[in-house]
Amino acid sequence: MIELEVTREHAGWRLDRFLAQALPQFSRARLQEWIRIGAVTWQGKKPRPRETIRAGDVVRLVEPPLEAIADEAEAIPLHILFEDDDLLVVDKPAGLVVHPGAGNQTHTLVNALLHHCTHLSGIGGKERPGIVHRLDKQTSGAMVVAKNDATHKELSRQFADREITKIYLTLVTGDFRRRHGTIDASIGRHPQHRKKMAVNLERGRTARTDYRVLETHGGVSLVECTLHSGRTHQIRVHLHHLGHPVLGDSLYGRNRQMSAPRQMLHSWKLGFTHPRTTERKLFEAEIPEDFRVAFPKSSIHESGEDGLSACRIG
């Protein structure tokens, strides 16, 4: 059992928001589900996720037993960048959904992982075994997957504490006035469009993205983005806010946006501290062919100020 006492700092917060910050190893959605099924008590009673908490309140969580994995294994090829007994890092192709959900019950990364691995962490529930974080369907690149619960919890903590290195490449419309900078703008749900996020300085959650324009050709810019937070659609929302939507982005792009084979966003480099060995690791997912097709004139080859490995297109 986990017992938490509400401090003055969190007085007036929603219960689910408080738990999400206090227990970063669990997703907010999972905590909300546990509240609904009675695994959480607040002041000795069963609460709702939206309860307003006060200083001195006591919240208890009895973590439910892990649900059996119900998804089916499928022999879908995986591009594995690294694997050991605790985790694996995969290069997810664009077009592959990460886990089963509405409209995508099969042919997902989870189905492929179940075919490849004997064991996966169960913290994410029966539909998300091993999934510590996710990429959008049309986003390609590096993802880390946990094989056991201890690894999952430690990686989740590193994500929550912003200790993960997350560097993306993206193709966007337009030429930038500033070749590098930081976008420090909170992100929240869009007030009119349920499926969209937006910069919301008053009610959003803090979000920071560093960007560096690597090259521009024909009204398209190749941009390196470093994430210092992990908000939903963060890069897409922040670059749209600057007036440079991601090429091929049907949700945030302009109506007359230049055509592209998909949403041109790639999780290029992913770094973390290995939960068991404590060794710092950095993995790089090769730049996909569709980037080369969409941006054929580039001949970039830079190591960058951070000393990371080179990037070349073309």
Count the neighbouring beta carbons within 10 Å of the beta carbon of residue 107. Answer: 14
Catalytic residue among 136, 149, 184, 306: 136
Distance CA 29, CA 110 (A): 18
Q: What is the CATH number of domain 165-312?
A: 3.30.2350.10
- Has 136 been annotated as catalytic? yes
End-to-end CA separation in angstroms for the chain: 55
Contact between residue 269 and residue 125 where contact means Cβ atoms under 8 Å apart:
no
Write out pLDDT tens, residues 169-197. 999 999 999 999 999 999 988 888 878 89
Domain boundaries, the chain: 2-61, 80-84+94-149, 165-312
Q: Which amino acid is at 173?
A: T
pLDDT at 75 over 60: yes
Write out pLDDT tens, residues 79-98. 999 999 999 999 999 999 99
* Helix (H), strand (E), coil (C) string for 95-162: CCCCCCECCECCCCHHHHHHHHCCCCCCCCCCCCCCECCCCCCCCEEEEEEECCHHHHHHHHHHHHCC
Fold equal for 2-61 and 165-312: no
In CATH, the architecture of 2-61 is Roll (3.10)
pLDDT at 306 over 50: no
Distance CA 123, CA 152 (A): 7
pLDDT at 237 over 60: yes
Can you tell me which residue has the tokens 């490995």?
309
Confidence of residue 26 (pLDDT cuts 50, 70, 90): confident
